Amino acid sequence: MFHCRLIPPRPDFAFTLTDAEKALMKQHSDYLRGKLGEGGVILFGPVADPVGPWGLGIVRADDEAAVRELTEADPAVRSGLGFRYEILPMMTAVM
């Protein structure tokens, strides 16, 4: 299991979205929602961090390379607007 943190291009991103960014976030959500059905993505959604919201994903994969392949194909990352993922392996997961 891996913890994936999507870091937006600016701390106030969730509060200052342009129309183009709203459309991009819909593509991002649609992409991850599609991955839910494949079994790798366990959950995803925004986190209300007081410093600035960010996206959380919990992913089941054999290795970090598989998680990187998934995150690098995310429309948010591919947009070139400065989104990036931090990926951390979970030591254990209780489900």
pTM of the model: 0.92
Which pLDDT band, with edges at 50, 70 and 90, does 37 fall under?
A: confident
Specify the pLDDT at position 50: 93
Question: Tell me: the pLDDT tens digits for 41-89?
Answer: 999 999 999 999 999 999 999 999 999 999 999 999 999 999 999 999 9
Which pLDDT band, with edges at 50, 70 and 90, does 38 fall under?
A: confident
Tell me whether residue 59 is exposed, middle or buried, using C-beta atoms within 10 angstroms of its C-beta: 0 to 12, 13 to 18, 19 or more: buried
